[in-house]
Amino acid sequence: MKLNLNLNHMSKFPKEVWVFVSASFVNSLGNAFMWPLTTLYIFSFFHRSAADAGLVLLGQALASIMGQLVGGTLFHRIGMRTLVVWALAITSLFQFSLMFTSNFHIYAGLMACIGFFNAISMPAISAFIGFRWADRRREMYNIAYVGNNLGVAIGTACSGIIASFSYHLTFVMNGVTSILFATFFWIFMRKMDLNVSTEDMHKQKKTKSSFSQTWQLLGAYQLYLFMAMGALFIMFGNSIWGTGISTFLDSEGMKPISYSILWTMNGVLIFVGQPFVKWLNQTFMRQLTSQLTGSAIFYFAGFVMILINHSYPMIVLAMITITIGEMLISPTIPAFISERSGSHAPFYLGVEGAISSLGRLFGPYMIGLMYDAGGIQHAAWVAVGGGILAVVCCMIHASFHRDESASLHANHRM
């Protein structure tokens, strides 16, 4: 088994790949400057309760779900370049606007607008990867995933330092990175071939009965529904980290750094664990559908570890196990949709993102409710239940695609 990164292979990627990954890294870095501090900003600047902060985040999450649906639908109607550039540009304006308001309700509205317009660009950018580098899309999704997570890891680590000078500085830096990403796409996509057939694009633009077409696409539920539901239940159960584990560690008298270490470890593992996941895929899970099911199993196993033993070493082991599940599912979903749905990929990526986000929307509330009722044990049972449902949904999804034979890296060995 060879677990070293093949740098010679990585160097064979075109320069434009690394330009795109670098720009995406900067954008994720900027986003990570702001979102970890939202609750703290509401509490310290507006002097509002944690419940009020939760409502702001809920509103932003709901707006994000709507944005992903809108973005996936508009991709072919107004064009990828126009959609992404304007969505990011408008997002940056709202991000800059945050520092000019001292009214909590206006702030909440601006945060919802940020969630909506930023989410519009998400399925389009994901589809862009699949269209532009169709022959290496599986590797590209994985590289983009690692790059984005590296940006998140660095951004979250720096956010507290920046906020110690000024919360408003985080808004400015977030807005600057968004406008830079919009400018990048405006320049990068000039005269660029997205590898979408002219015939498919013509059909998309020619379609007038958008509602009938949308229902027709949604009718192909075998392609997306159970995969999206599997991701939904994974996100639902994974909410235990924010609304269960963090509170539990605090109640045990452990310092906040014990919790932050878990997420630092998550970011490091995503970067250094790629060779192991590649070996895992090539040895045991050569099909994309198998990788989705394997991801759900890893998440389920991590939740079970938390249930049977609440010691810190076991929680660390659970985080390692769940991180492996994350590395399996994150690049696989967009790769599967892009390969299976062709020019309709933006629509299905938006639908999948909207459905799976519901888990992140309701998970914190349900698990927090159970934690209040019976502590970490009750919260862990809810997470385990989510893990079981995720495995079942992924297995049903796999049953629809028995002919899937390629693995995440089978066609392009490092």
Q: Under 8 Å CB-to-CB from 231, ≥6 apart: which residues?
A: 329, 333, 352, 355, 356, 359, 390
The per-residue pLDDT for 368 is 81
Q: Domains plus CATH for the chain?
A: 23-197 (1.20.1250.20), 216-414 (1.20.1250.20)
Torsion of CA 174, 64, 400, 329, to 10 degrees: 30
CA distances for 145 relative to 255, 316, 329, angstroms = 30, 23, 11
* Residue 101 phi, psi dihedral angles, 5° rounding: -115, 140
3-class SS at 412? coil
Are 8 and 131 contacting, i.e. CB atoms less than 8 angstroms apart?
A: no
pLDDT in tens, the chain (414 residues): 444 444 455 556 677 888 888 888 888 888 887 776 777 788 778 888 766 777 888 888 899 999 998 988 888 788 888 899 999 999 999 999 999 999 999 999 999 999 999 999 988 888 888 888 887 888 888 888 888 888 887 887 777 777 777 888 889 999 999 999 999 888 887 756 555 544 444 444 444 445 567 788 888 899 999 999 999 999 999 988 877 887 788 788 887 678 778 887 888 898 889 899 989 988 888 889 999 999 999 999 999 999 999 899 999 999 999 999 999 998 999 999 988 888 888 889 989 989 998 988 888 888 888 888 888 999 999 999 999 999 999 999 999 987 654 443 444 444
CA distances for 350 relative to 162, 204, 237, 338, angstroms = 33, 16, 22, 12
Are 411 and 138 contacting, i.e. CB atoms less than 8 angstroms apart?
A: yes
The per-residue pLDDT for 377 is 92
The per-residue pLDDT for 103 is 93
The per-residue pLDDT for 34 is 77
The per-residue pLDDT for 245 is 87
The per-residue pLDDT for 129 is 85
The per-residue pLDDT for 112 is 94
